[in-house]
Structure 1
Amino acid sequence: MKLVIAIVQDKDANKLRSVFVAHNIIATRFSTTGSFLRAGNTTYLVAVDDDKVDLTLNLIKETCSARQQFMTPPVSLNG
């Protein structure tokens, strides 16, 4: 048995949960917050049998996507 820890963006969390349910993968879900962009994340703790690890990782990769976000740095008027 292996423990998979997946931190995904909130935009992908509900879709990933549905995919886990469809494949009978049991996961514990936590709401978390990133420190850099202060964006909401969801952390999944998934305990799976050794033969389902590859399936679980592939489902996460197929369901969740990477995104780019642009950020404007704060302007300092002290100088």
Structure 2
Amino acid sequence: MKLILAILSNEDSSTANHLLNKNGFQVTKLATTGGFLRAGNTTLMIGCEDEQVEEAMGLIEESSRKRTELVPTAAGYDMGRYMNLPMEVQVGGATIFVLDVEQFKKV
């Protein structure tokens, strides 16, 4: 048995959750915050059999798209004033961890 931890953008989480449920996966959804952009994201926890891992990962990948956004950078000093210059960064997509589950019990 495996535990899949998938970290994805809030914008993609509902689609991924719906797609996984539609295909028979049970999902626990956690609200989390990223460390780099300090933006909200979602972590999905999915327990599944070993042979279902590739299918689940494919569904997550299908529903998680990458996009670019402008985010403010650290303030810089220019001509006697402080400025925040936006920087273009790539967001979205998914980070997926697959862990072995030694024991599972549902009570």
Q: Distance in 1 between matches of 2:71 and 2:10?
A: 18
- Give the count of matched residue pairs: 79
Paired position in structure 2 for 1:15: 15
Q: Distance in 2 between matches of 1:5 and 1:72?
A: 29
Is the helix fraction higher in 1 or 2? 1
Q: Which runs of 5+ in 2 are unaligned?
A: 82-107
Q: How does the TM-score come out when normalised to structure 2?
A: 0.67
| Superposition CA RMSD, Å | 1.8
Structure number with bigger Rg? 2
Q: How does the TM-score come out when normalised to structure 1?
A: 0.88
Question: Identical aligned pairs, as a percentage?
Answer: 31
Measure how far apart 1:62 and its partner are.
0.7
Q: Which runs of 5+ in 1 are unaligned?
A: none
- SS at structure 2 position matched to 1:68: strand
Q: Distance in 2 between matches of 1:62 and 1:56?
A: 10
Q: Distance in 2 between matches of 1:21 and 1:73?
A: 38
